[in-house]
Amino acid sequence: MTKKSISKILLYFILTLGGIIMIVPFLWMIVTALKTGSETAKIPPTLIPQNPQWGNFIKAWNAAPFLRYFLNSTFVMIVTTIGQIITTILGAFAFARLEFYGKKTIFILCMATMMVPSEMLIIPNFVTLSKLGMINTYAALIVPWLASFFAVFTLRQTFMTIPDELYYAAKIDGTSDWYFLWRIIVPLSKSTIVALATLEMIGSWNSFMWPMIATNSDKMRTLPVGLSAFTTDAGTQYQLLMAASTIIVIPMIVIYVFLQKYIIAGVTRSGLKG
């Protein structure tokens, strides 16, 4: 065996080992979700469920208002994502293409918001929303996330790579700014927009601290908050907890598998923002 092929084998060995470590918790989640209550308490643990309990998913689903949580999460995710993309496209266009007084000042002020940890803003935002009577409503879960300057900044960078001449050509051809934005710039920036949208979808679906603080009734809970609350009811019934976890994890994995290319591009950009 050559030295080269030995190192190749070693390489794949390390990567596979790492891959196993990454995937085992997910597999363990599914395995546990299919066990009976008594099987989860076996020592040593069984690696394959003796008698797969598919009913656990239904049991977990009915043990708490997961349907309601699921619908809440979906609704909040869709509205936030669409809303944020619209405000982002409009804002990014203004910063990239239009001339106006105070452009620099506003831009710098907004840049400053990217530096502030959002955890710090929870207190005043809670106060603001209470004053507006929006605590424990969908508005509280949606409105604060309808704009993100990180998204505006990223999209502006993309818009700015579109040559000026295209803008002039379109003007001469008779388009308005509005038409140019939606029919020319937006289609050309599709991949960035999809990347930002998927990042926002993931962020919205998984967000925990804010929905926990901004809601206080079961009816308004999102999946992560509901799941966290469910732990108190389920206690040590890990087969149900894992079944519920599976329910919350699967949609994002599906989205991820389909939009992987965009998500990775988006993450690369978000990491490079500093």
Partner 1 sequence: MDVKFENVSLAYEHKNEVLHDLRFVIPKGKLTCLLGPSGCGKSTTLNLISGLLQPTAGKIFFGEQDVTKKDALARKVGMVFQNYALYPHMTVLENICFPLKMKKIDKKKRNERGENLARLVHVENELTKYPGELSGGQQQRVAIARALAKEPSILLLDEPLSNLDARLRVEMREEIRRIQKQTGVTTVFVTHDQDEAMHISDYIMVLDNGQIQQFADPNTIYDYPDNLFVASFIGNPVINKIPFSILRQDFSPIIPMTINEKAETLLIRAESIVPIRDHQEHLGVKLQGKVVSVQRYGHEMFVRLDVQGQELMVTGFKERDLLEKQQILEFTLRTNGVFIANSEKEVIWNATSV
Partner 2 sequence: MIKQKPSAKSTLIAFLYLSPMLIIIGTFYLYPIVMSFAMSFYTKYNFYTNKVSEVGLSNFVTIWTDPDFIEALKNTIIFVVGVVPLSVIIALVIAILLNKINFAAGFFKTVYFLPFVTSTVAISLIWQWIYNSQYGLLDAFLGIFGIKPIDWLNDPHWAMTALIIMTIWQGLGFNIILFLAGLSNIDKRYEQVAQIDGANTWQRFRYITIPLLSPMTFLVSVTSIISGFKVFDQIFVLFGGNPGPGKSTLTLVFYLYEKFYTEWKYGIAAAAGVVLFTLTLIITVIQVWYSKRHVHYV
Positions touching partner 1 (CB under 8 A) are 163, 165-166, 168-175, 179, 184, 187-188
Of partner 2, partner 1, none, which one does residue 72 interact with (CB within 5 to 8 Å by kind)?
Answer: none
Write out the binding residues for partner 2, residues 69-88 only, by CB under 8 A. 86-88
DSSP-H helix ranges across the chain: 3-33, 37-40, 55-63, 66-97, 103-115, 118-131, 138-142, 149-160, 164-172, 177-179, 186-188, 190-206, 209-214, 223-234, 238-271
Which of residues 63, 134, 139, 147 is near partner 2 by CB under 8 A?
147
Applying CB under 8 A, which of residues 61, 63, 70, 122 lies at the interface with partner 2? 122
Contact of residue 235 among partner 1, partner 2, none (CB under 5-8 Å per partner type): none
Taking a C-beta distance cutoff of 8 angstroms, is the pair 175, 184 a contact?
yes
Footprint of partner 2 on residues 4-63 (CB under 8 A)?
Answer: 7-8, 11-12, 14-15, 18-19, 21-26, 28-29, 32, 40-45
Residue 17 touches which member of partner 1, partner 2, none, C-beta under 5-8 Å by kind: none
Could you tell me the CA-to-CA distances from 99 to 89, 109, 128, 172, 223 in Å, in that order?
16, 17, 32, 19, 43
CB of 108 to partner 2, least distance (A): 12
Cβ 154 to partner 2, closest distance in Å? Answer: 13
> What residues have CB less than 8 Å from 180, skipping those under 6 apart?
167, 170, 171
Rounded CA gap, 62 and 240, in Å? 10
- Cβ-based nearer residue to partner 2, 62 or 268: 268
Q: Minimum CB separation from partner 2 for residue 87, in Å?
A: 4
CB of 244 to partner 2, least distance (A): 8
| Residue 163 DSSP symbol | -
Say how many C-beta atoms besides its own lie within 10 A of residue 168's C-beta.
Answer: 10
Q: What is the largest CA-CA distance in the chain?
A: 77
For partner 2, the closer of residues 44 and 174 by Cβ is 44
Residue numbers 209-268 binding partner 2 by CB under 8 A: 209, 213, 223-225, 227-228, 231-232, 238, 241-242, 245, 248-249, 252-253, 255-257, 260, 263-264, 267-268
Please give the Cα distance from 138 to 232 (Å, whole number).
Answer: 24
Look at residue 63 and give the partner it binds from partner 1, partner 2, none, a contact being a CB closer than 5 to 8 Å depending on partner kind. none
CB 246 within 8 A of CB 239: no
- 220 is written with which tokens? 């308004």
